[in-house]
Structure 1
């Protein structure tokens, strides 16, 4: 009888496990300093169930009992970038310095493109070279700076036709100046490599490690590279200026990969050639189309001489640096760039940063800002799992958390409402260990 009375007084049941966990991680990062409940809800929803803004309103109500009006969210987005971007970046940097022992020594930079589901362009959303293969759709260019370990530091948005090589210096210089960064090394891939960028990095007093475009070097330098003994794991270096070195390394694993990829690309070209689908328009430098040439100004064929020339580069990789680090350390630090690639993979995939459906610059900026903060929370959750020795991914933890419920019951005699979060399975209890037991709501 008492059980029936209690059950009849259940006021609501919420599937709010992700909200409870993500709110806690949000606070651990220091984002609770932003006293803005709407901002918190939008970040948590982006991690829990990335949806359109209309879908987010429904999700927050049905799962977390949060009341947000769609028109208010849109008005909120219009002012979010101006009010929160600098604050969230400062909080992110402070937290990153704390977990890295007080110093941000390495900063990794990379750039990606984010496309829109529309054919309409404007001053910001322009067509350009798309890293997603969406060349017919407008896009923006996003530059991201992360620390060692992949913790996001700062970002900037450029119009969709911006050449990626011109995005790095503005972000790096603004970041270094605003946050008074000392004793750091900027790491970027060969897509950002140009004589102009190197000269600007040098004149700005920045230490750098950048992937070299060794195939574009002078004939003298290329002759030197081809004269090197190809021994697995061995590095050679030469001074290119009084402050800059070119380091070239060889790897058997990379050589096998280069050969495999080339043969795979040639097979595709041969198949297309046999089917008669290769035309003059295919002759460009994209991918393995570089092996094509026009024969007698009439037909297109695969040039075997170009293939043989390409084979000479198998296994070779170059790096340009003005640091005094040993070659092996330059190699290791450069290959830490995967942390930026992962950041783009998670934000584009798990957090669904793109495609975007907003059209005003302010709402686009706000959407990117929310995803930036969501990724910071994601990385902190990843770090907590690692140091706790819990062998689960962030995505798996959030999936488990989606089955954690909280019930609110009004006691039949006192009319007091009590709350209980139900940790019913071993998986629930396992992820509950990540936080202080007092965090989980008990009978009150």
Structure 2
């Protein structure tokens, strides 16, 4: 119960005693409306007396009761020692989902806590050790942290965790896995020296001058990660598809499967191999790379929203091209920004970056605006192509399945932002793989939490980080107890999930 003061349109102030019931405030007593400062003071005193009387009637004594002298309050509080404030509620919440996935079977508390800390506050291994000690009261030596990473690599935690996730998904989420989503990204290193594993190559982070590795990821329709693989930094992303998909099929035992991937995976060897393995696929099409014959047909597609046309590319391949007015507007806006960037770069007269799409060299040292490319790209505004060897799918089904590719893209986004998979400072191949195994496990836990709560992992961590636990010791009896603080309504709902 508490006092609520409300300013009225008539410049008066209403004084009410209200009580929180669920998520709403219930009016208990209207004390009156004050027109002057003196009346406000009087009603404030009346409210104070009412609240104190109500507490006494219920047998509740407040240390802040007006009849206590300040000295008595200080003496009462001085008996207690406040030892620490920990993020125990968040830790226990994450641990609950960690255990449900079966990760407790690893029987490695250091790896467990490093994995959970990856979700709570992704930091370097040194800072993670400090975070565990300061925020949870869990102490590990730095040497034990690095021994854990070596053990994770030696005992192949990657395979164990992947098998546990697959077993969980098949038992509790989807008994039959019929669709796999695939994508690739790069992780760069804060270094400039290459080795046999860390190589410079095409970087999605525009870090072409720094060593990197290429990482592939396969996820289910529900967004659960199933398999990851790592390749040396100079590996062409199109060469990563088959090893991952074949490994995922081997583990899932799937007979009928549709592989969904973006246009980066579109090369003849990949598609021929998927066809030979009797796998269906849907991949993004690069329309500007098609033959002139198909370009002419595509140009005749009516520019009406949601228009779709099919073309037979070969005996086994079908091309679906759709038009979207929303996509057309975006293509136009994106191109305008890129053209403006190119013009600004030319106007500055400084060294021009080759990454600017609409610049080309007219001479070895002279850059010009590529007007032909601009005109060519205009032809494809609003158009999007999809290639499949599964013609039984309707246009809507093809669009729906390809549209779900965001699930693997979201997994990579979560790994890179929320779990901070990059940049990484490890140098040895075994520690790089152990680090990514940690990230993969944290990703699986995070996705399970999102699947269960329908909230982003970022939001869950934000809410439960505020619901801290204070540790108190009675200096007389030496008894130690804990109390939750800042426990919001949303935090209570989340924590209740772990008590079922």
Shift of 1:252: 1.2
Larger Rg: 2
Structure with more relative contact order (C-alpha pairs < 8 Å, separation 6 or more) = 1
**Higher alpha-carbon deviation: 224-233 or 205-214:** 224-233
Choose from 338, 342, 350 the match for 2:410. Answer: 342
Shift of 1:229: 2.4
Change (3 A) 1:310 1:98: same
Shift of 1:94: 1.9
1:401 equivalent in alignment to 2:440 = no
Alignment match, 1:242: 315
Where 2:117 maps in the other structure, the secondary structure is helix
Alignment match, 2:36: none
**Structure 2 gaps, min length 5:** 1-71
Alpha-carbon distance in 2 for matches of 1:99, 1:190: 32
Change (3 A) 1:110 1:393: closer
- Report 1:208-287 matches (<5 A): 208-277=281-350, 282=354, 286=355
Where 1:433 maps in the other structure, the secondary structure is helix
Alignment match, 1:132: 205
RMSD over aligned CA atoms reads 2.4
Shift of 1:231: 2.4
Alignment match, 1:435: 498
Shift of 1:230: 2.7
Q: Determine if contact 1:16/1:406 at 8 Å carries over to the other structure.
A: no
Shift of 1:15: 3.2
Shift of 1:32: 2.2
Choose from 176, 179, 182 the match for 2:249. Answer: 176
Shift of 1:421: 4.7
Choose from 121, 128, 131 the match for 2:194. Answer: 121
Measured against aligned partners, the alpha-carbon deviations of 1:59-82 in whole angstroms (never above 9, x if no partner) come to 112222222111121122112134
Change (3 A) 1:299 1:129: closer
Alpha-carbon distance in 2 for matches of 1:350, 1:203: 39
Shift of 1:11: 6.6
1:64 equivalent in alignment to 2:136 = yes
Choose from 315, 320, 329 the match for 2:382. Answer: 315
Change (3 A) 1:424 1:234: closer
Where 1:124 maps in the other structure, the secondary structure is coil
Shift of 1:176: 0.5
Shift of 1:238: 1.8
Shift of 1:154: 0.7
**Structure 1 gaps, min length 5:** 387-391, 438-444
Shift of 1:427: 4.6
**Higher alpha-carbon deviation: 74-83 or 253-262:** 74-83
Q: Determine if contact 1:111/1:164 at 8 Å carries over to the other structure.
A: yes
1:111 equivalent in alignment to 2:184 = yes
Shift of 1:382: 1.1
Alpha-carbon distance in 2 for matches of 1:402, 1:238: 53
Change (3 A) 1:303 1:52: closer
Change (3 A) 1:299 1:35: closer
Change (3 A) 1:14 1:261: closer
Change (3 A) 1:422 1:260: closer
**Higher alpha-carbon deviation: 368-377 or 71-80:** 71-80
TM-score by length of 2: 0.79
Alignment match, 1:197: 270
1:46 equivalent in alignment to 2:118 = yes
- Report 1:285-364 matches (<5 A): 286=355, 288-289=357-358, 292-294=360-362, 299-323=366-390, 324-364=392-432
Alignment match, 2:27: none
1:162 equivalent in alignment to 2:230 = no
Alpha-carbon distance in 1 for matches of 2:87, 2:236: 45
Alpha-carbon distance in 1 for matches of 2:76, 2:114: 37
Change (3 A) 1:38 1:197: same
Alpha-carbon distance in 2 for matches of 1:319, 1:335: 11
Alpha-carbon distance in 2 for matches of 1:20, 1:408: 19
Instruction: Report the count of equivalent residues.
Output: 424
- Report 1:72-91 matches (<5 A): 72-83=144-155, 84-91=157-164
Change (3 A) 1:72 1:287: same
Alpha-carbon distance in 2 for matches of 1:321, 1:132: 30
Where 2:122 maps in the other structure, the secondary structure is coil
Change (3 A) 1:248 1:425: closer
TM-score by length of 1: 0.88
Alpha-carbon distance in 1 for matches of 2:376, 2:459: 47
Measured against aligned partners, the alpha-carbon deviations of 1:212-267 in whole angstroms (never above 9, x if no partner) come to 11211112222222233232212111222222211111111111111111122111
Q: Determine if contact 2:194/2:211 at 8 Å carries over to the other structure.
A: yes
